[in-house]
Amino acid sequence: MAQYRLEEQKKILGILMVLLAVSSLGFAVLGFLRGPELPFDLEGEQRIELELTRPMVPDVDSLARFWQDNGYALLQREQDYQVQTSGTTSLAWIQGQETLLVVPEQYDRILSQTIFRLSEFLLEEGWMIQLEAADHGYTLGVWSDLPQLGQKVLAYEWQIDLLNPKNYDYYYGGWISVLGEPFDPESYVRRTPQSPLLAVIIDDWGYANSAVQPMLAYPLPLTMAILPQIELSEMASERLSRAGHEVILHQPMEALDLSLDLGPGGIRLGMTSEEVEAQLKENLASLPFAVGVNNHMGSLVTADYETMTHVLEVIGELGLFFVDSRTTTESVVREVAVELGVPFGVNNLFIDNESDVDKIKGQLRAGLDLAQRQGHAVVIGHVRSATADALWEMIPEFLATNVRLVPISRLLHKE
């Protein structure tokens, strides 16, 4: 009983200390808000009068149309105006500022070339300009005469951003900056019908073909699955990662049709755990930017519990994830991954079983619809010209929907 009373006394003492601290803080805050008695009269404050002027600027609305005339969609346009002063006179002027977000309508539109064309036009019109490279575009300003000041001033400035996988989240993902770090205020509803996500995986990278450049230049985030130990694999990994796309290993695995050629680096049924480990590590060594793995073919291996256990044990030890392409309905990937605690993803839909642009667009729309209904979806295509064309033509629909494109690493499961 004595111990109980002692504990009660401690609690009471603690509460009193907290109340005292809060009360002291309250008085301090109240004193701060009321402030000390000022020993001087504010009514005698000095007033400064400024002469405000607006320098000449180009026709900014026609310059906004310039982008549409040169093959870009103008996604966002924000204008702002600030008052600038010289610091030595009572003259002030209005400086215009504008932020433009643009996206090319075709992959072969080069932002630097378009910026130089715009700069050339302004120079021909007699404007003095300044041009600086920025993280995702350019800053372009025009200087204008201010006769009252006897010099030129920066009259209008454009911040021109090119939409790309690196800044897509900033403009379309709902992210905001908090203390310099990205913060997602809608994180609690991500992967739900209220905030749906779609991951698009593109398989079979490593070979040269006409779809490489359009895919590489794609302005929305994709996940690129690269075949190992092929001449262009390492270069593709570096270039795709630099462009902002996520890179994973497209691991060849034995299929039910034993006549199919796996290519180098394949995993076959019956390999020992040591052989699987050595093969996976050798393949990943050729793709330094890979953050995960998915299967190339593999309808035989992904249905085999023992072999997939060997595979996922290695992937888990390396801190990677595995995406089941679902080349067979007999897959045991989910079962083994849950048992081992390895993060995994699952393909919902192949989009280009037929190399027809309209049909691929139809499959992409089906992926969007699935994401809207269940909150998330994963689709897989291949490095093919028809697939690249379909993806580019779908950009307006992707940007108009409430579905956000994400790398596959954002759509992983653990159970």
Q: What percent of the chain has pLDDT over 90?
A: 79
Does the structure show a pLDDT above 80 at 207? yes
**Averaged pLDDT score across all residues of the chain:** 89
pTM: 0.85
- CA-based nearest residue to 263, from 250, 244, 281: 250
Inform me whether the pLDDT recorded for 195 exceeds 50: yes
**Is the model's pLDDT at 398 over the cut of 90?**
yes
Q: pLDDT tier at 29 (50, 70, 90 boundaries)?
A: very low
Q: At what angle are helices 111-124 and 60-69 packed, to 10 degrees?
A: 140
- Determine the distance from the C-alpha atom of residue 132 to the mean position of all C-alpha atoms in its chain, rounded to a whole number: 24
pLDDT exceeds cutoff 90 at 388: yes
Q: How confident is residue 148, by pLDDT bands cut at 50, 70 and 90?
A: confident
* SS3 (DSSP) at 102: strand
For position 26, what pLDDT does the model report?
38
Mean pLDDT of 222-249: 97
User: Is the pLDDT score of 132 beyond 60?
Assistant: yes
Helices (H) and strands (E) in the chain, counts: 12, 17
Token look-up 């499959």 returns 363
DSSP result, 123-166: HHTT-EEEEEE-SSEEEEEEEEEETTTTEEEEEEEEEEEE--TT
Q: How far is the C-alpha of 297 from the C-alpha of 154, rounded, in Å? A: 59
- Distance of alpha carbon 4 from the chain centroid: 58
Is the pLDDT at 36 greater than 60, yes or no? no
Domains parsed from the chain with CATH numbers: 51-162 (3.30.460), 188-410 (3.20.20.370)
**Region 31-38 average pLDDT:** 38
Q: Is pLDDT of 63 > 90? A: yes
What per-residue confidence (pLDDT) applies to 32?
Answer: 33
Q: Is 199 exposed, middle or buried (0-12, 13-18, 19+ CB in 10 A)?
A: buried
Find out whether 105 and 128 touch, Cβ atoms under 8 Å: no
